Structure 1
Amino acid sequence: MAAFSIFVFLSGLFVTSSGDLYSHSIRPNFTASFINLVDNSGAFLLSPNATFRAAISNYPDQQLPQFYFSIIHSSTNTIIWTANRGRPISDSSKVSLTPNGLIITNNFDQIVWSTPSLDSPVAFLQLDDSGNLILLDQQNISLWESFNYPTDTLVRGQRLPVGIDFFAGEYQLLLTSSDAFLQWNGMTYWQLSMDNQALKESNVLVSFMAVNGSGLYWVGDDGSTIVFKVPLAPIDAAGLEFIYAKLGSNGKFTISSFDENNLVPNFQIPVENCRIPSICEKIGFCNSDKRPETCLCPSAFHNGIDGCVPINPLLTLPKACNTSNSYGNETNDQVSYMKIGDAIDYFSTNFMEPLSRRISLLNCQLLCSRNCSCLGILYGNSSGSCYPIWNNVGSIFSSTFGLGQEDFSGYVKAMTLSSNINLSSKTDADHKFSVLGSVLLSSLGAFVLVVIVIGFSWWKRRKGHSRAAVVRLGSKASFSVEIDLLSIAGLPVKFKYEELATATDNFTTQIGSGGFGTVYKGVLPDESVVAVKRITNLGVEGKKDFCTEIEIIGNIHHINLVKLKGFCLQGTQRFLVLEYMNKGSLDHVIFNNESVLEWKERFEIAVGTARGLAYLHSGCQHKIIHCDVKPENILLHEENLHQNLQVKISDFGISKLLTPEQSNLLTTLRGTRGYLAPEWLTSSGISEKSDVFSYGMVLLEIVRGRRNFSIQTCAPLSGTELKRLYFPLLALEMHEQKRYMELVDPRLNGRAEGEEVERLVQVALCCVQMEPWQRPTMSNVVGMLEGSLPVEQPRIESLNFLRIYGGRYASVLTTSTNGCNEQ
């Protein structure tokens, strides 16, 4: 070790110019740019055997002058790690090694990327022959490693832990504790447990994924128990120089090996290229009968900028309502359906349940029309199954080679544009008259047709309303509705009202309440304890809508979300049956004066809540905005003293059960004072960033152990006085002075990790910034809390509104500033 230290020290002494090419290590105060490294093709550091190089370079086949700081396998030019992914720099931008870490700055000296805060000053930057880039201190202790921050490539000796982002463009490999998925824009197109090549060897929870010369492995917490494995064909270990697993921007996940002469693909998924969601872009038909596969547009479509578009210029394909420039307010009269083919299939049908089964094509289209996130359907002609196309439209392919045997017909939503277009620019008067006459006649015919359709629709609506007025439970119409509900697949267990009344001892043990219902403790016949929530104020007309949403909520499974175990729908009664959390809600635990929640548990609650919200926003198939993130909706459970506290978010599906009228009342009925984002009060659009704001407010309360709005009891020289305290303003002021430990709950008596306190406060302030676009996503919040992403610095100018809020609230009831205790 001493000899190694001397070598590293001496190698650093000779660093004099950023244009040189160094081996193994570099000392701080080193700066490089591509311009200075042109002769080395951007490289400035080699591993000991020159197997890998650190370089500032273009991506392969990239024409634009955009550069990235990357680690590259020398023999194959394979990029295994990139620092500034998605944030390219110019050829004169700088990569600097300082005692504080690595920093990339642009031409305006703005930080593009940097390593997170480190425990001690950097002494060396080292590149190993494994491809791992490491920052070391003076004692050769690792401060930071690129292997801990994988991007889209995994090499031998590296681990991909559960929960770490692994993505390439629109594609992501999602690793969970029980399975692994390939996803395109959040929709699954490959699942490990359903793949014939995957072998399951244990039932323990997955901790990480790794690759070596014999296969791809999913490994348990002990670091040795194999849960799943995908074995590879035998590889000559003696000649194996390099093996890696990579998720490509084309959607393929591949394992390749290099044996000194050849780069060989050993494994790839999906096996069939036509199962890659965007292989032929939007609505493109992938023909697998030819090699390589060919792409065609269906009839009535032709090639457009990003795929196939309608030939008819008066028709356009809408975007989903959760994307920008969406058609969120379209009416059913504007929506039509264009057929994209028979005997076709779609990548997601094998990995999702249908919206409904045994329904007609018309009803399937109606289900899609009622949800602006649905952009099309696949209808099973033999089974009556209705599969939606959510949020983004991918490619289609022939069902003859697919895994399923269903005979699908495909349809996509189309919307009618204004017909005010210039049909001709010819100058011939007769031709002008002919065209004008045709247009007028067509317009007149269309007008008459519209009048007929509107009149018929009005008559049908009036007739439907008159029928609805006389429908009663037990009638034939009601019975048909109940039968229709049976066609909704994927519903959780349906309980009878009498069963829930018995389980809850006739609803006597109340354990919670909220704006839309009361919660009771119950015991089912199998002796499992549940929480039964009676849902109120939802009306009686949306029975099938209620069940459709229950199916969506019931299919959401995450370790940090309360599980929906069943429901009851009987007459006007609606109940949700949820898993029981024995420690109750966070507010009862953290705001009481009887016991003190330790810092370790507080940090676990912060991370667990962030993971749950991140999954709701970007991990599940249907994005869900919670709309009421607060301590009362964060539940805790503890099996015994030897297990970690379980953290789960509740009430995340209530917003999906509201009518449009009730959604407009969320600010008074659902949102809670103290946690509402500013956009709630300004009638701006509500998005997942509104949840981020609420989470930031909760994070501050976790740190302090008190409500953000509190009253201090003060003891001046005479008498007792009261002072209002707005804690977010205090947090901002202490952040500006770097006095983070003064914000911690005083009942902990200093039992808190200073670095974690600083991290939580900074993340919280980032979350509560005024403008939604300035707030991080919940996925990035998870990364910052867990240390996989550097903590963003909140913008002070975006937090000045806290001074206004605080000034209004923190007015002194009786003047005093000393000797105050919070209540």
Structure 2
Amino acid sequence: MGSFLFIPAIFLVFVVVSGTSFTEFIYPPFSASHYEFIDNAGTFLSSRNGTFKAAMLNPGAQSNFYLCIIHVSSNTIIWSANRNASISSSGEMNLTVKGISISDMDGSLVWSTPALKSSVYALLLTELGNLILLDQFNGSLWESFHYPTDTIVIGQQLSVGSFLSSSSGVSNFSTGDYRLILSASDAILQWREQTYWKLSMDTEAYMNSNYIAEYMAINRTGLQLLGSNGTVVVIQVLLTPSNFRIAQLDYSGKFIVRSFSGTRWNQEFVGPVDGCRIPFSCGRVGLCTGSGYPTTCSSCPPTFHVSSQDEGGCLPNSPYSLPLPCNSTNNGSHLNSSAFSYVQLGSGVDYFSILFSEPAEYGVNLSVCQDLCSSNCSCLGVFYQNSSGSCYMLEDELGSIISNINAGVNDPLGYIKALVGSTPTELNNSNNPSSGERNFPVAALVLLPFTGFSLLAALGFLLWGRRRQSKLKEIKLGHVDSHSSGDMDAFYIPGLPKRFDYEELEVATDDFKTLIGSGGFGVVYKGVLPDKSVVAVKKITNLGVQGKKDFCAEIAVIGNIHHANLVKLKGFCAQGRQRLLVYEYMNRGSLDRTLFVVADQKIIHCDVKPENILLQDHFQAKLSDFGLSKLLSPEQSSLFTTMRGTRGYLAPEWLTNSAISEKTDVYSFGMVLLELVSGRKNTLRLQSHNMNDSSSGGGQSSSSSGSGLVYFPLFALEMHEQGRYLELVDPRLEGRVTREEVEKFVRVALCCVQEEPALRPNMNTIVGMLEGGIPSSQPNFESLNFLRFIGRRFTEASVIEDATERNDRVLYQESNSFPTQTTIGSRTCFSYISSQEVSGPR
């Protein structure tokens, strides 16, 4: 009887999965191929109401088969499993207790789900189009929604850090060159890791920058980036209500949102709106004209012609050819810069990446810009802005060129790197003895070796003479390095930046004529190198007993650190006892000159403060002297706590034997923020009516009673407590900032200067608060009480000075003191140390 009942059960299951009706569940073991389900176009699974189906499908009626999920009404594929490894019609999808696997007809595995935490009980296709592996308790083990390809649908979330990848073509599902990446603040389109569009740029996008995005989703009302577990909208594009829509990264590089109604798709949103902004819209160096879609690719830039190669695009006219990529075996990396030329693209053109990239160098001339590209095999061209000397590199891959009829005289001009006189293949063959016959003249065979020997001999004699002169000069000047047993050539340290001779830097600085700054480690001079690039040359005068090799080892570390907000170390000199560092020149000087309009002055520094923040043409900010603290010798480390910091920016932990950490720089940064708000030093003389305008409401400020020296951080704290933020603003900003903007800056600054380092935010959080991605925190008032003691001391010193006219220097030291711990009642508070003791000579 049991066997009799079992046979109909098996028959019913077979009818369910192989007939015209399908179920939303299948159970292991199960297998499906296009061949097995050919009568149903490879379909073997359907969602409950038939909105979606799963099938072994061959798009475009080709021989490439994929496991796909399809929206039935529109016949649109929203997900594919084995997109990069198609199979034949006899290849199979297998469902086992271990998960899903896809094998070709010979049994070779091409795709599978990852290892799962428990055995599979069933496979479910939901009405949202999500394919889910379930355990015996209906818990999710794996979901297709968590592994998106090029499309998301309503109900699906694209999490921060994940991305969509375009397909290579309409019927080729393999991963293409375009990606949509989701960050904590934006959705970003990239082509081969080069950004070309951001959702926040679109005029239809509404932004709320006070929160961090967690995922992107589409729903009935539009496209959204959401945070706080979906309760806060970070970016939103409102669309006409629709029950079904998809967001897709098209194989052409467009990000498209479409809705389906009746029998047709409606395109609701596309990014970028200008088709010429898609990097490869017209092939390599192809000239893209027009705006919107479709674009026109009927021409090439001047001095280029249409390429007959498969990818299309344009090539430079004879006798030039494009160099091969870096990763090619014949990339021409053995060539020197003289082998390259630069073909100008002409005026009125643009390039997609310029808007999203920082210049490789500022303040250089065109020749230097091109030399930088010539020495970098990944660089394939440059855009150069003459007005600012900004040099943009086009690296790794060349995209299309944009025709820009609105280009002005100050817009960058483009130049494409080209090989001169030979094709890349010919140049490669010329370096391969087996690549062809060598037809050298007999005279050349005789004369070339003799000429080469003569040149080598002459060069050796010149080098010997120069080295001997250098040694004699060092001995004469008493510069022989007793801590180095030989010249630089006696040891090798990888990663060293360019090495300069002392004589070169003497010439570059006109014998160290123009002094532009000074600090604890030495003095800085302006210089001009032979390539006309302007540099800042720092003469190091405080290195202890450190030897040449130790110095060079640390310079190698510093020279390998590249960051958009750090002044670049271009080179060094370690000759005899001379130690010099060559930095890029920041032509607007330091931030304090912009804020406080002061003349040149000598300041002992090694921390974060306006004097140590340098500004470029467009007010790009960079920190100077990064890494110089590494040059302190071990013998000097015991002096570290008394040597680090500058009056007004020094964190309390320096003087309380507390641990020094990155939060110490956060304190200094907070003081800089307060100075940015006020446009003045944290200590300055003001009349009381300037700080206590009765019309502003609120009572008298205890920090500003009377006239004299005012401790601005305390005044900022008091104004924060009273909500009187606009009284703190630099008068030059009047009418240009809102109360809310000032409040945000002040709150962030006060959080930074809290006495307890653990309460200070880290720099990532600070950036988030300033940019609006993170709500600004409320500082702990108990941890700010120490400012009241310092402020009281400032006021007392000011009153005493007015009454007795004591020596200004002594009072200045007293009034700029920082506390050491004592106890008053239950409160740990402070006595004071003079500013000279704080800063100390270095």
TM-score range, shorter chain: 0.5 to 0.7
Q: 1:360 aligns with which of 359, 362, 365?
A: 365
1:67, CA displacement in angstroms?
1.4
- Indicate how the Cα distance of structure 1 residues 104 and 310 shifts in structure 2: closer, same or farther if over 3 A, else same: same
1:44-443 equivalences under 5 Å are 44-59=44-59, 61=60, 64-168=62-166, 169-232=176-239, 234-235=240-241, 237=242, 240=243, 242-288=244-290, 292-295=294-297, 296-298=299-301, 299-303=303-307, 304-310=309-315, 312=317, 315-322=320-327, 326-400=331-405, 406-416=410-420, 418=422
Corresponding position of 2:705: none
Amino acid at match of 2:148: P
* 1:696 aligned partner: none
Map of 1:588-599 to 2, 5 A cutoff? none
Query: Structure 1: how far apart are the matches of 2:378 and 2:219?
Result: 41
SS at the partner of 2:85? Answer: coil
1:42 equivalenced with 2:36 (yes/no) = no
Q: Find the counterpart in structure 2 of residue 788 from structure 1.
A: none
Deviations 1:690-709 (A, max 9, x none): xxxxxxxxxxxxxxxxxxxx
The answer as to whether partners of 1:495 and 1:568 remain within 8 angstroms in 2 is no
Amino acid at match of 1:468: E
Cα distance per residue 1:267-316 (max 9 Å; x no partner): 00000101100000100001117973211222332223223343656532
The within-5 A match list for 1:743-822 is none
CA 1:418–1:267: 2 relative to 1, 3 Å: closer
Taking a change above 3 Å as real, the CA distance of residues 221 and 55 of structure 1, as seen in their structure-2 partners, is: same
Helix, strand or coil at the partner of 2:344: strand
Q: In structure 2, what is the equivalent of residue 566 of structure 1?
A: 623
- Using the TM superposition, name which of 367-376 and 344-353 deviates more: 367-376
Pair 1:468-2:518 in alignment? no
Correspondences of 1:637-786 after superposition (within 5 Å) = none
CA drift of 1:518 comes to 11
Change (3 A) 1:248 1:292: closer
CA distance in 1, matches of 2:351, 2:276: 9
**Contact (CA 8 Å) 1:377, 1:410: kept in 2 or not?**
yes
Q: 1:534 to 1:87 in 2, by over 3 A?
A: same
User: How far apart in 2 are the matches of 1:289 and 1:150?
Assistant: 31
**Structure 1 residues 346, 533: CA separation in 2 closer, same or farther (over 3 Å shift)?**
closer
Deviation at 1:413, TM superposition (A): 0.7
Looking at structure 2, the residues matched to 385 and 136 of structure 1 have their Cα atoms a distance apart, in angstroms, of 57
Counterpart residue identity of residue 32, structure 1? A
CA separation in 2, counterparts of 1:293 and 1:86?
30
Pairing of 1:396-545 with structure 2 (within 5 A): 396-400=401-405, 406-416=410-420, 418=422, 468=504, 470-471=506-507, 473=509, 474-475=511-512, 479-481=526-528, 516=554, 543=582
Q: Any residues of structure 2 matched to 1:24-35 within 5 Å, and which?
A: 24-35=24-35
SS at match of 2:393: strand
User: What's the TM-score once normalised by structure 2's chain length?
Assistant: 0.52
Q: Is the 8 A contact 1:497 1:570 kept in 2?
A: no
The superposition leaves residues 11-44 of structure 1 with CA deviations (integer Å, 9 ceiling, x where unpaired) of: 9961479754522111111111122222222221
Distance 1:24 1:102 in 2: 16
Give the match for residue 760 of structure 1: none
Report what 1:793 is aligned to.
none
Q: Helix, strand or coil for the counterpart of 2:36?
A: helix
Q: Which amino acid aligns with 1:321?
A: C
Could you tell me whether the CA contact under 8 Å between 1:154 and 1:160 is conserved in 2?
A: yes
CA distance in 2 between counterparts of 1:406 and 1:643 reads: 41
Distance 2:585 2:96 in 1: 58
| Paired position in structure 2 for 1:782 | none
Q: 2 CA distance for matches of 1:230 and 1:136?
A: 35
The one-letter amino acid of 1:195's match is: D
1:535-584 Cα distance to aligned partner (Å, 9 max, x none): 99886899468999xxxxxxxxxxxxxxx973428999989x9x95589x
Q: For residue 204 of structure 1, report the CA deviation from its aligned partner.
A: 2.1
The Cα offsets for residues 230-252 of structure 1, whole Å up to 9 and x where unpaired, read as: 222x23x4xx3x21111112110
Structure 1 residues 143 and 359: CA distance shift in structure 2, 3 A: same
More displaced 10-residue stretch of structure 1: 193-202 or 328-337: 193-202
* In 1: Cα distance, 2:190 partner to 2:92 partner: 35
Q: Which structure is larger by alpha-carbon Rg, 1 or 2? A: 2
8 Å contact 1:58–1:65 — kept in the other structure?
A: yes
> In the TM superposition, what whole-angstrom CA distance separates every residue of 1:155-213 from its partner, at most 9, and x where no partner exists?
11110111113211111112112333111111111123333332222422211111112
What residue in structure 2 maps to residue 725 of structure 1? none
Question: 1:175 is matched by which residue type in structure 2?
Answer: L
CA contact (8 A) 1:496 1:570 kept: no
Give the Cα separation in 1 of the matches to 2:54 and 2:186.
34
RMSD of the alignment, in Å? 5.2
Per the TM alignment, residue 86 of structure 1 is displaced from its structure 2 partner at its CA by: 1.5
Match of 1:701? none
Tell me by how many angstroms 1:255 deviates. 0.5
Question: Residues of 2 paired with 1:419 and 1:483: CA distance?
Answer: 32
In 2, Cα distance between equivalents of 1:141 and 1:10: 26
Letter in 1 for 2:400: S
Whole-Å separation in 2 of the counterparts to 1:367 and 1:534: 15
User: Structure 1 residue 132: deviation in Å?
Assistant: 0.6
Q: Distance in 1 between matches of 2:580 and 2:16?
A: 75
Superimposed CA distance per residue, residues 351-372 of structure 1 (whole angstroms, 9 cap, x where no aligned partner):
1222334543323212222222
Residues 538, 54 of structure 1: alpha-carbon distance in 2 compared, 3 angstrom cutoff: farther
Question: 1:228–1:254: structure 2 CA closer, same or farther, 3 Å change rule?
Answer: same
After superposition, the Cα gap between the structure-2 partners of 1:410 and 1:17, relative to the gap in structure 1 and judged at 3 Å, is: same
**Contact map agreement 2:572 2:582 (CA 8 A) in 1:** no
Q: Which amino acid aligns with 2:137?
A: Q
1:401/1:229 Cα in 2 relative to 1: closer, same or farther (>3 Å)? farther
**What percentage of aligned pairs have identical amino acids?**
37
Q: Is the 8 A contact 1:361 1:379 kept in 2?
A: yes
- Give me the whole-angstrom Cα distance separating, in 1, the residues matched to 2:568 and 2:423: 51
1:739-792 CA distance string (max 9 Å, x none): xxxxxxxxxxxxxxxxxxxxxxxxxxxxxxxxxxxxxxxxxxxxxxxxxxxxxx
The alpha carbon displacement at 1:485 in A equals 10
